[in-house]
Structure 1
Amino acid sequence: MNELLSKKEVKILLSDHSGWTYNGNRIKREVLFEHYMDSIEFVNSLAIKAENLDHHPNLSIGYCNIIVELTSHDLGGVTVDCLELVKYIELLISGLYKKC
């Protein structure tokens, strides 16, 4: 079951993942890529994982960057599923991340 995390829990869990910001009801990260198609590959991989979790991020697609925002639309804050997506995103970044 997806459950809302406390501010303290979110901050502790994000301390292991640099680049993420937390504003109280959502977490956010910008990911930069060398090529546009790398960013699309990232989005496609993330979309499959999000669909399998039934937990969908807000995504902004730029030329060489993606902004990912995670929150629970149902619960109104950061949840266990958000943190699962953070971990998955970090795995994707470790294989795809390149400065634009």
Structure 2
Amino acid sequence: MSVAVAATPAAADWRYCLARGPARTVYLSAPFPTVAAMPTLDAAFGRMLDRTQRPHDPVQCPRADDAASLRAMRLTALRYNRQDGETVVELDWTPDRDAAKR
């Protein structure tokens, strides 16, 4: 007896990336779905910040299971940082758009 196993695509996480910059600045990406590993995303966002001459601390890319949860998380991060006196710079960056520019 043989058993056929259908390959199912990996479920995408929803993420956005952020990093602190100098002078109380925080950079935030747009939200995006991805199956990429977190180190890959961290590195890609960091390279974009480097390429655009934005000094930064280590990158973080928080995840959620769905778009609505991620948007809520991102909005909380925006509000928190602004209330804390940070300048929040929203960047229209996603890994797909970044790859398309190369």
Same fold? TM cut 0.5? no
Q: Which has the larger radius of gyration?
A: 2
TM-score bracket for the superposition, by shorter chain length: 0.3 to 0.5
TM-score, structure 1 normalization: 0.32
> Which protein has the bigger helix share?
1
